[in-house]
Amino acid sequence: MGLLVLLGLFALCVVIGVPVAFALGVSAIAAFWFEGLPLMIGFQRIISGINVFSLMAIPFFIFAGELMFHGGIAMRLVRFASAAVGAVRGGLGIVNVFSSMLFGGISGSAVADISALGSILVPVMKEKGYDADYAVNVTVTSSIAGIIIPPSHNMIIFAIAAGGGISISKLFLAGVVPGILMCVCLAVAAYLVAVKRGYKAEKFPGWTALALTFASAIPGLMTAVIIVGGVLSGVFTVTESGAFGAIYAFVVTLLVYRNITWANFKLAVGQAVRTTAMVMILIACAGAFAYMLTFYQVPAKTVTLLTGLTDNPILILLMINAALLILGMIMDMAALILICTPIFLPVANSLGIDPLQFGMILLVNLGLGLCTPPVGSCLFVGCAVGKLPMEQAVRTIWPFYAAIFVALMMITFIPAISMTLPNMLQ
Q: How far apart are CA 124 and CA 127, in angstroms?
A: 5
pTM summary value: 0.83
CB contact set of 148 (below 8 Å; sequence gap of 6+): 104, 175, 178, 179, 182, 360, 363, 364, 367
Q: How far apart are CA 231 and CA 240, in angstroms?
A: 9
In order along its 426 residues, the chain shows pLDDT tens digits of: 778 888 888 888 878 878 878 888 888 888 889 888 888 888 888 887 777 777 777 788 778 777 877 777 777 877 787 777 767 777 778 888 887 777 766 666 676 677 767 777 788 778 778 888 898 899 889 888 878 888 778 888 898 888 777 888 888 889 989 999 999 999 999 989 988 888 877 777 778 888 888 888 888 778 777 777 777 777 777 778 878 888 888 888 888 888 788 888 888 888 888 878 887 887 888 888 888 887 887 777 777 777 777 778 889 899 999 888 888 877 777 778 888 888 899 888 888 899 999 999 999 998 888 888 766 777 877 888 788 887 888 888 899 999 999 999 999 999 999 999 888 866
Q: How far apart are CA 223 and CA 245, in angstroms?
A: 6
Domain boundaries, the chain: 2-425
Which pLDDT score, from 0 to 100, does residue 227 have? 77
Which pLDDT score, from 0 to 100, does residue 181 have? 93
Q: How far apart are CA 346 and CA 355, in angstroms?
A: 9
Q: How far apart are CA 354 and CA 336, in angstroms?
A: 20
